[in-house]
Amino acid sequence: MRISAIITRIIQQMKRDRRTLALLFLAPLLVLSLMYFIFNSNEASVTLVVSNAPAPLIDKLKETDFTIIVDNDFSKKQLQDKEYNGWLAVEQNVSKLTLLNDDPSLAKALTMQLAQILQPTQASIGSMKTDYVYGDQDTAIFDIFSPMLIGFFVFFFVFLITGTALLKERTSGTLERLLATPIKRSEIVAGYMVGYGLFAFLQTIIIVLFGIYVLDIVHVGSIWLVLLINMMVALVSLSLGALLSSFAASEFQMMQFIPLVIVPQVFFSGIFPLDSMAEWLQNIGRIMPLYYAADALNGVMYKGYSLSDIIVNLSILACFAIVFIMLNIISLKKYRSL
Amino acid sequence: MGNQAISIKSLEKRFQHKQVIAPLSLDVPKGQLMGLLGPSGCGKTTLIKMIMGMLKPDSGTIQVLDLNVPHKQLLNDIGYMAQSDALYTDLTGEENLHFFAKLYSLSKAERIERVAYAASLVRLTDDLRQKVENYSGGMKRRLSLAIALIQNPKLLILDEPTVGIDPVLKKEIWQELIRLKDQEQKTILVTTHAMDEAERCDQLAMLRSGHIIAQGTPQELKEHYQAKDFDEVFVKAGGDVQ
């Protein structure tokens, strides 16, 4: 009853605040699209050299967006000199793909599309070996960090909106007034979690569907798992935002948590390769919720993991949420000891 | 014990090193309208917050309606109006009232009845559908008062309820407070620094620098200090402390 009173109130308030709603639902899509176009802007001009390929394969390749050059006498040196994007040499059992990889996103797009084309006819061509002129397959690319990007936007916008909403409640005195009524501290926190959780849930659905169906971000695994992970991210972010708002005296101070809390998490969520980091640096990453979220999202969307593969990550996220929620309930003691 | 709505014994509170409430004892008899009088910064709000259980005293005890503060039941029995208007300005007056009514677990029928009653009491019925951000200062104060009355509490604790309210409405609110006391046997504790309001109280306690410097009926106080009005009482009583 009391929880539902808070939930109803939050919905009423949010419905009136059109701008915040727009920020919540449209801003992530805008930024996500922008990043998508930035990282994929020259995808159309991919040039692929093909050697010794059977005619049906060449025809199939020509159906793609790639510019296809058939040259049976080609070398890695030529590839490097002429700056073509890739060279596919078909031999008896193994076809060898050499990627220039000067732009990892192009190389990745090429590999992915080739893999799709070659898959049905795999028997005739045999397995594919990939070689790189520059870098290697671990080079970061949009496809790898786009799943993490989805998680990040959910985290960021939910954090921002709940943090400032609860802060407003503290500074306007309404929180204190609330605690002069028989409401339990846990009911306030629960009301907040569910009330803003509803909006976070809608936002998550919109971001995920937009990312997958409009921007065509790779997703190999189940979309339900992607939603589940993002809901968990939203919950962590919701409880963390609410908690940190008790350490801020104004909206301006709330904003100051962004470089402290949000930005470092981005560094540890897969944009930069974690394996090459020093041990102590990797350990810092392990205390950040987005590290686990990005790992799980990447696993599901890019590698096709199932629930059992990401259950550890999900549990850790749940622990973060539970700890933050408990701390929230305790922090309200500042206003009322009961 | 049974006759006191609020019973405070040797209560003390300091912030950092500043003594805000000196050891202080005060009784508010049931069914009376008690005025807590004092200049700004004398510790009125601190005292009120301790009675509400929102601040922990350093020492001393507070009993409200025969229960030790803090107590969960008391949150139901006390109608509280804070010094600053704690309202959701993006909601309408009606939505604010209904929200708080729900927090007191009133049934839907009760809620509608109490919201209508409280709103008509403070003359806000016609403005209920407006957003609070469009309210004037006085309207916000009246809405806060309506919220304090929403669950029909036995005890009303009002922190400067008439600040920013025009004289006509101020008079009406005081008439209503007196009616609530007389007809519904409510105990009311009001803080004020307006001397004209002091006259209307049954009992007065004058607070200065965390001390109760004088206590009694308005008549007693005036006689004791041989003063014509309360401004004079206050000046004379204040002189005793220094």
Same domain, A278 and A165: yes
User: What pLDDT was estimated at residue A253?
Assistant: 86
Which of B56, B70, B82 is closest, CB to CB, to A173?
B82
CATH number of domain containing A102: 3.40.190
In this predicted model, what pLDDT tens digit does every residue of A174-188 receive, in sequence order?
A: 998 998 899 999 999
Measured between alpha carbons, how far is A18 from B2 in angstroms, rounded to an integer?
A: 54
pTM of the complete model beyond 0.90 = no
CB contact under 8 A, B103 and A174: no
Buried/exposed B115-151: b ≥16 CB within 10 Å, e otherwise: beebbebbebbebbeebbeebeebbbbbbbbbbbbbb
CB A210 within 8 A of CB A154: no
CA distance A19 to B10: 52
| Beta strands B4-15 and A95-99, pairing class | unpaired
Same domain flag for A56 and A31: no
CB of A129 less than 8 A from some CB of B: no
| Residue at which a domain ends, from A106, A132, A158 | A132
pLDDT above 70 coverage of chain B, percent: 98
Pairing of strands B67-68, B155-159: unpaired
Q: pLDDT-based confidence at B125, cuts 50/70/90? A: very high
Q: CB B70 to CB A182 under 8 A?
A: no
Please give the average per-residue pLDDT across A39-65, as a whole number: 74
Assess A180–B contact: CB distance below 8 Å, yes or no: yes
Domain check: are A155 and A258 in the same one? yes
* DSSP 8-state symbol, A130: E
B206 Cβ contact partners less than 8 Å away, ≥ 6 residues apart: B37, B38, B212, B213, B214, B215, B221, B233, B234, B237
In angstroms, rounded to a whole number, what is the distance separating the alpha carbons of residues A146 and A159? 20
How are strands ordered across the β-sheet holding B187-192?
B78-81, B155-159, B187-192, B33-37, B203-208, B211-216
| Rounded CA separation B11/A7 (Å) | 39
Strand partners, A131: A98
| B105 vs A contacts (CB less than 8 Å) | 1-2, 182
pLDDT grade for A137, boundaries at 50, 70 and 90: low
Q: Which fold has domain B4-86+154-241?
A: Rossmann fold (3.40.50)
The closest CB to that of B75, out of A4, A180, A335, belongs to: A180
**CA-CA distance, A287 to B20, in Å (whole number)?**
43
Identify the residue with better confidence: A116 or B143. B143
Q: In this predicted structure, what is the pLDDT of residue A140? A: 46
pLDDT of A190 > 80? The answer is: yes
pLDDT digits (tens, 9 = 90+) for A149-161: 888 888 998 898 8
- Both A195 and A66 in one domain: the answer is no
Judging contacts by C-beta atoms under 8 Å, the chain B residues touching residue A178 are 103
What's the pLDDT band for B80 if we cut at 50, 70, 90?
A: very high
* pLDDT value for A40: 64
User: What pLDDT is attached to residue B91?
Assistant: 93
Cβ burial A279-289 (10 Å sphere, 16+ → b, else e): eeeeeebeebb
Taking a C-beta distance cutoff of 8 angstroms, is the pair A199, A120 a contact? no
Same-domain pairing of A177 and A66: no
Among A71, A98, A132, identify where a domain stops: A132
Residue A104 has pLDDT above 70, yes or no: no
Cα–Cα distance list, B190 to A69, A238, A239, B181 (Å): 90, 39, 38, 12
Looking at beta carbons, which residues of chain B come within 8 Å of A173? 82, 84-86
Give B168's pLDDT tier (boundaries 50, 70, 90).
confident
Q: Which domain holds residue A67?
A: 42-132
CA atoms within 13 A of residue A201's CA, in its CB half-sphere: 8
pLDDT at residue A141 greater than cutoff 60: no
Which of B99, B76, B83 is closest to B154 using CA atoms?
B76
Give dist(CA A54, CA A90) in Å, integer. 8
Nearest-neighbour CA in chain B from A28: distance (Å):
25
For residues B31-35, average pLDDT: 91
Task: Give the burial class of A171: count Cβ atoms within 10 A of its Cβ; 0-12 exposed, 13-18 middle, 19 or more buried.
Answer: middle
Q: Does A183 touch chain B (CB under 8 A)?
A: yes
Mean predicted confidence (pLDDT) in A90-95: 73
Task: Band the pLDDT of B101: cuts 50, 70, 90.
Answer: very high
Tens digits of residue pLDDT in B196-219: 888 889 999 988 888 888 888 888
B54: closest CA among B32, B34, B78?
B78
Cβ contact A267:A281 at 8 Å? no
User: Is residue A172 within 8 Å of residue B86, measured between CB atoms?
Assistant: yes
Which residue of A18, A181, A185, A332 is the best one to mutate when testing the B interface, meaning the one whose CB has the most B CBs within 10 A? Answer: A181
Residues of A in contact with B103 (CB under 8 A): 2, 5, 178, 181-183
pLDDT above 60 (res A43): no
Same domain, A83 and A194: no
- Residue A44 pLDDT level (bands cut at 50, 70, 90): low
Torsion angle of C-alpha atoms A157, A160, A163, A168, degrees rounded to 10: -120
Distance CA B20, CA A165 (A): 32
Q: Per-residue pLDDT for B242 more than 50?
A: no
- Cross-chain residue pair B87–A12, CB shorter than 8 Å: no
Q: Give the residue with greater pLDDT, A134 vs A85.
A: A85
From B76, B80, B91, residue closest to A13, measured CB to CB: B91
Contact A9 B85 (CB under 8 A): no
Q: Residue B96 and residue A92: Cα distance in Å, rounded? A: 78
pLDDT tens digits for range A284-336: 888 899 989 988 988 888 778 889 989 999 999 999 999 999 999 998 888 77
ipTM: 0.84
- Which residues of chain A are within 8 Å of residue B70 when distances are taken between CB atoms? 336-338
pLDDT band for position B84 (50/70/90)? confident
Q: Answer yes or no: do A224 and A327 share one domain.
A: yes
The whole-angstrom distance between A203's CA and the closest CA on chain B is 22
- Measured CA to CA, the distance from residue B145 to residue B156 in angstroms comes to 10
Range B146-165 average pLDDT: 89
Of residues A298 and B116, more confidently modeled: B116
Distances (CA, A) of A296 to A207, A221, B4, B183: 17, 11, 62, 66
Least confident segment among A58-72, A123-137, A221-235:
A123-137
A5–B102: do the CB atoms touch at under 8 Å? yes
Nearest to A2 among B70, B105, B131 (CB): B105
Could you tell me which chain A residue has the CA closest to the CA of B57?
A337
Rg (CA), chain A: 25
The yes-or-no verdict on residue A51 having pLDDT over 80 is yes
Helix axes B93-103, A2-16, angle to 10 degrees: 160
Highest mean pLDDT among A102-106, A252-256, B61-65, B91-95: B91-95
For B86, phi and psi rounded to 5 degrees? -100, 85
Query: For an interface test with A, which of B84, B102, B106 has the most A Cβ atoms less than 10 Å from its Cβ?
Result: B102
In a shared domain, residues A172 and A290: yes
A156 & A127 share domain? no
pLDDT value for B110: 92
Of B72, B99, B131, the CB nearest to A9: B99
Q: Are residues A316 and A198 in the same domain?
A: yes
Instruction: Give one word for A219, left, alpha or beta, with left for phi > 0 and alpha for psi -120 to 50.
Output: beta
**Number of independent structural domains in chain A:** 2
According to the 3-state scheme, what is the secondary structure of B157-183? EEECCCCCCCHHHHHHHHHHHHHHHHH
Is A176–B54 a contact, with Cβ atoms under 8 angstroms apart?
A: yes
The closest CB to that of A172, out of B86, B95, B103, belongs to B86
**pLDDT over 60 (residue B72):** yes
**A193-245 pLDDT, tens per residue?**
999 999 988 988 898 888 888 877 777 788 899 999 999 999 999 999 999 99
Say yes or no for a CB contact (<8 Å) between B85 and A335.
Answer: no
Q: Does A12 touch chain B (CB under 8 A)?
A: yes
B87 contacts on A by Cβ (under 8 Å): 172, 174
Please determine, for residue A41, whether its predicted confidence score (pLDDT) is greater than 80: no
Cβ neighbours, 10 Å, residue A92: 8
Same domain, A216 and A330: yes
